[in-house]
Structure 1
Amino acid sequence: MAGFAALSFLGQCQVWVKNRLVQTVNLRIKTLMAKNLIDDGPLPEDASKPLSFMTNDLKLLETNGITSELTILQELLTLIFAIAAAIYFDWLTTLVFVVGALLPMAVSGLTQKPIDRRSKAWSAANGQYTGSLKDLLSGLDTIRSYHANTVAKARLNQSSTAMENGLRRMNNLIGSADVWMSFLSLTVGLLVPFGFGIVRILSGVITIAGFIGIVQLSNSITNPLLIIMDGVNKWNTTRQIQAKLRTAKDTSSDKRSEQPLGTLQTLTLNNITLSRGGKALLQNFNLTIKAGSKILLKAPSGFGKTTLLYALQGQLPMQGSYQINGIDAGQLPPRQQLDLFSLIKQQPFLFNDTLRFNLTLGGDYSQDELEEAARRAHLDTLVAEKGWDYQCGENGANLSGGQIQRVEIARAFLVKRPVILADEATSALDDKLSDAIHDELFASGKTVIEVAHHISPEWQAKFDQVIDLTQAA
């Protein structure tokens, strides 16, 4: 009883250690990928791909990768102790048992590359399914309004069928490999060593008791090998995921980012070519922007206006020469380049948090600075009514479209950066509020680069430069 109690306690410790280890590794991986996604990676063209990787792929890595590695380690220790004990009875008979148990590994080697290919196909189908589901949920109101329910369900079922087919094919291959490894284990790994052991007994080399001891231990040789090979096959399904992890290296912070760039003088673009999603947007584009100037960029939807703003921040690549104060922008630390710009998006981003947090985003600002930014963005009425601790809700669900946009505008005023990038900054506001916000933008003394579909001739006349990108492209 004492022995069983001791073994049970050790088993409980193993459970605790294993689960703690899985948690630690999962958190390390998620922290690394979150850093790569938020700090280092390019802006995603399709948000469903990183979403699928951070959820489905990392879960597969846990079940088929981390857990399989721990299982392989545990069974390997069992195998080593079993072989050592069997050698004590008769080393040659033990060797035959071990060789017979190792032969099924050939099946694992033959199926490794096919499993790899099917794992990659399943991962791609899984990403497409996640993207389809995301699109459907975001457009659920439109689908119901136009009675497109049947079409939407058919399209979702089509992508889910492709995903499940990919998973079935992958699991079929893994299962078939397991079946044939079991067959080889029962024949070459069991029947042949039994026959050899009987010959050894008849020859008087070992006793029946010694052979029985080896047979008993053979289960602790064959079974761990089978489990190890099954674990290797499962681990192989995660090789594509692990390759992505290896590319997401944890880089140290760039100390140059701590040094301010200095007073902004000019932004210069020469022979710039800009593309997105394989589509060329701008070619041989030239622009010089002096500090304090007001620039209006006009073009139809989908022409690359927003993409150009992101490229100015360094968040998207562009070909050609882009200089800040005569310095090649590519030579500047990303953080230093970003710190030049405030961004007012057409579709603002809000945390499910308070008004205060959505303005500061965790930054340290005085109450006077907050009040001034709210006043300039004409958000002060909402603050007076709801208070700074008012919960905005998920994606600003508790605010109107105009209020959400003014939170974004107030955020840009609060950080007081040299350049304000305004992407359809007042599209959700009425004419009176739009004029008032433009007054504040122009009175700020900052460099303003605004993109817009439509803007009144009165306001166009106030810009230092009005550039039609359809003519500049």
Structure 2
Amino acid sequence: MKLTYELKDSNTDHQVKINLKWILETLPTPLIVAIIILGITSSFEAILNGYIMGQIIKVNLSDLGSVTRFILQAFIAYLITYLSAYSFLMLKNQAIKILNVKLKQTFFKNAFNGDQDESDITNSITTISKQIEQSYFNSIFMLIQTGLTIISTTIFILGTHFLLGSIYIVLSFLSLIPSYLGRKKLDVKVKEWSTSNSELLNNTSDTFRGRTEIRNFDVKSLFFSKINRLLNKEELNYRNLSNYQTTLMLYAWGFAILTYLGPIAIGLYLAQFSSLGITTSIIVSLILTADSVVGNMRSLTSLQNAVAGTNGIRTIAKSQQPKIIKDHSENSTAGLVIKNLQVNRGPKVILDNINLTLTEQEKALITGPSGVGKSTLLSAISGQVNKANGNVYFNQSIVDNSDYVYISQDIWLFDGTLRDNLTLFENYSDEVLTEVIQKVGLLEELGDHALDMEIKNKGENVSGGQAQRIAIARGLLRDKKLFILDEITSSLDVKNAKKIHDLIYQLPVTVIESAHNYDDEQLEQYAIKKLVLSSNGLNPVTTSA
């Protein structure tokens, strides 16, 4: 069966959007329902404050029983409300934990399948994930509670006295006018400060990177003058921003006086008309409760801004994974076959018209000048580099991860036992593992308890030759039939390099290797095909001196 690959073109397949739909799909339904219910019951604090203060006026202070019942009922109501708020926050923390795990798994899996480097994925899992947690996940849950509080409080206000309640709500919203009207100008001042701050940081970074040259050419005072100018500009813009925010706050205070005293005045005036049913108790309840609506509206706006501020970091690019489909190529040769291979880097052609056939268990060494593209060729064979033209087959199929082991001079080892580094946490018996390390000579060197040897600090406690043999053992353990070797002995001495090649050249596998340094006698001894890579392609040469 022959295989090839195709990539899906749909953009929706290439992105994971962290949004409300993603949250609902990630969280268990019972948890979502519990959070909503507790969000409702915990939203009654503002209502209780207004209601209880309004009812105090009605309590018969001469009746001890009435006073006791009032205090007990208020206590129970507050207890239920605060226990609900506590439970809401605990369930919110559990939900965020679930979302964080899923988010970091998504970052890790997509980065692992792509070409992000270690620093990028570390930044995603730590810094960006934390930003999404604090500014998006947390804000979404607080938006739920704040929105429910506004709804329940508004219902209470209108239910207490519809006419006066409507007036209170309308007047209460006046305090939001300054921030709304000043938003555009505030955005401009924020942008001015942000731009000047970025300019200062960039110039500071540039100056520090070039400080050797700046000192050598004795132009320090000129650069210091530029930095001082940018620093003053940045601080001036920051002062202007702060002053404008303070001015908006002054306007907000003025409106706050109006929105606080206005409803009281209107309520007291309307109370003169007994037919409207307005009492002092109603006025007190509405004053305290209506103020909560405005406060929560401000919080709602702030939370919405926090959510909107995360838009740029909540879209995760998915790596395109090749989809394997049948390939009806006429290739029928067992072993490794390279047909008309071309690799480009941008507009530049790196490799062109590369053809090679290695029969089953045949071995070849590729040499050539530095920079000619030997490593690129091996990467193209293994599928790590995209091909502009041509293809690579192994045993009549497109080369797949399951076919080969790729070994370079930089062997990946991690902290753990030799057993872990061989199995990569797959299930192999110690008997099989012992047989493999014996084949590569590690059992003789490390002793009977070699599998329990602790590899530390990314392999710092093993030699270069041992690391190479661990990599070879991984391939043998998984019965890989194609070994792709990239300068694996360049950092070894001649004796150890020969040992490694003696081992590899005797394996019953197909081998294609790149190398600068090699032993012609050893190549002749094992009948290794020697090829030279140049701008003219891949051409065979004799192994004799």
**Bin for the TM-score computed over the shorter chain:** 0.7 to 0.9
For residues 324-375 of structure 1, what are the alpha-carbon distances to aligned partners after superposition, in whole Å with 9 as ceiling and x for unaligned?
269895xxxxxx8110111112111112110111111122334443233223
Cα deviation for residue 12 of structure 1 reads 3.0
Name the counterpart of 1:239.
Answer: 311
| CA distance, structure 2, for counterparts of residue 115 and residue 322 of structure 1 | 54
Q: What residue ranges of structure 2 are gaps of 5+ in the alignment?
A: 1-74, 202-230, 327-331, 539-545
Q: Where in structure 2 are the equivalents of 1:346-425 lying within 5 Å?
A: 346-384=409-447, 386-425=449-488
What is the DSSP-based 3-state SS (H/G/I as helix, E as strand, rest coil) of the residue aligned with 1:231?
helix
Judged with a 3 Å threshold, the aligned counterparts in structure 2 of structure 1 residues 119 and 453 are, in CA distance, closer, same or farther, namely: farther
- Which residue of the other structure, out of 38, 45, 52, is the alignment partner of 2:123? 52
User: 1:318 is matched with which residue: 387, 390, 399?
Assistant: 387
Contact 1:272–1:319 (8 Å) recurs in 2:
yes
Q: Is contact 1:267-1:324 (8 Å) kept?
A: yes
String of CA shifts for 1:26-52, please: whole Å, max 9, x gaps: 0011112222122x32x33x4322222
SS, match of residue 354 in structure 2: strand
From the CA coordinates, give the structure whose radius of gyration is larger. 2
Matching residue of 2:363:
294
Task: Tell me the residue number matched to 1:22.
Answer: 96
Find the residue that maps to 2:405 and give its secondary structure: strand
Which residue number corresponds to residue 532 of structure 2?
A: 467
Q: 2:83 and 2:358 mapped to 1: Cα distance? A: 73
TM-score normalised according to structure 1 size: 0.73
Decide whether aligned partners of structure 1 residues 254 and 106 sit closer, same or farther in structure 2, where only a CA change above 3 A counts. Answer: farther
Aligned residues: 414
TM-score scaled by length of structure 2: 0.64
Q: What secondary structure sits across from 1:296 in the alignment?
A: strand
Residues 250 and 318 from structure 1, CA distance in 2 versus in 1: closer, same or farther, beyond 3 angstroms? closer
> Aligned Cα RMSD in Å?
4.4
Q: Please list the CA deviations of residues 53-92 of structure 1 after superposition, one character each: whole Å capped at 9, or x if unmatched.
A: 2221111111112112122222111111122222233243
Deviation at 1:15, TM superposition (A): 2.9
Question: Does 2:408 match 1:337?
Answer: no
| Paired position in structure 2 for 1:433 | 496
Contact between 1:392 and 1:399, CA under 8 Å: does it hold in 2?
yes
Q: CA deviation at 1:419?
A: 1.0
Letter in 2 for 1:79: I
Structure 1: 5+ residue runs without aligned partners? 127-164, 330-335
The 3 A distance-change label for structure 1 pair 267 and 250 is: closer
Give the 3 Å change call, closer, same or farther, for CA 37–327 of structure 1 in structure 2: farther
Which residue of structure 2 aligns with residue 130 of structure 1?
none
Distance of aligned partners of 1:172 and 1:102 in 2 relative to their CA distance in 1, 3 Å threshold:
same
Cα deviation digits, residues 213-271 of structure 1 (max 9, x gap): 33312331122122222222222332221012xx33999x97989xxxx9954432424
Residue range with higher mean Cα deviation, 7-16 or 401-410: 7-16
Q: 2:167 aligns with which of 77, 93, 98?
A: 93
Q: Identify which of 137, 147, 153 aligns with 1:76.
A: 147
* CA deviation string 1:139-193 (max 9, x = no partner): xxxxxxxxxxxxxxxxxxxxxxxxxx9xx9xx99999998687566545566257
Aligned AA for 2:456?
G
Amino acid corresponding to residue 379 of structure 2 in structure 1: Y
Q: How far apart in 1 are the matches of 2:509 and 2:192? A: 54
Post-superposition offset of 1:21: 0.9
